[in-house]
Amino acid sequence: MVGNLNRQNVVSQKLSEFFITIGGLSSFTFQFFKDLFRPPYDIAEIRKHMDELGVKTLPIVSITGFIIGLVLTMQSQPVMVRFGAEAFLPGMVGLSVVRELGPVITALIFAGRVSSGIGAELGSMRVTEQIDAMEVSAVDPFKFLVVTRVIACTMILPLLTVYVIFVAIIGGYLAVIITQDMNFVYYVNQVLDSIAFGDFVPGVVKTFVFGFIVGIVGSFKGFTADKGTEGVGKASTTSVVLASLLILLVDTVLVKITLLIWPT
């Protein structure tokens, strides 16, 4: 009886914390849009964050994209051969990567590296009172620290996604030539013939939303961190978990919307 009550209390506490977090994140997002179009515009700061958050993420997303294409092709090839449809293998790989695997996995990798980094960086600034010092110095810390990072994340993730799709298709070709003899030109033509405008655009466009989620969640967790170094670690960890969860939930909704707008 006591054990059941304790479990119920834990569940109630976790649900309460979740809804409090969502409420705080919603308020934080509203504040972002309120400050977004208010001058001054820190273009140099946005460019700097795009370099730090995007270019330095290239190695990990390159490896990830290559492995996605390689493994997907190697796993699918025996099944396609069984049904006598191995000629459709390049098109299947290209379509899978463009529509879903490329955007979502790139966003999750991006969240793991970037959201945690933003949470830890802003959390450190919060607990060491650097953000408070900026306010005293008449500098708007929200606009300078948060708005610039969120814009940079929103702009850089679609570019990374296009790059990952390209690398994944190259990885798929490597798997094809390992398992069967196929000309590169034929492989590319098959991929391009299978991908329509309604496949490529929705997959890339939704990464703007994913990038925004990564930036806003990491900034929210870091900007509101407390309890010293323990709070910094918690902000870094929870930002990855929350950003990844929101990406998957939002993707579920966006898939349905894009299928209604651009039916297959």
Tens of pLDDT along 93-144? 888 888 888 899 999 999 988 888 888 888 888 888 887 788 777 778 888 8
Q: Domain limits of the chain? A: 43-259
- The string of DSSP codes covering 159-193 is HHHHHHHHHHHHHHHHHHHHHS---HHHHHHHHHH
Tens of pLDDT along 46-101? 888 888 888 888 889 999 999 998 888 888 888 777 777 777 788 888 888 888 88
3-class secondary structure per residue, 222-249:
HHCCCCHHHHHHHHHHHHHHHHHHHHHH
> Global pTM?
0.88
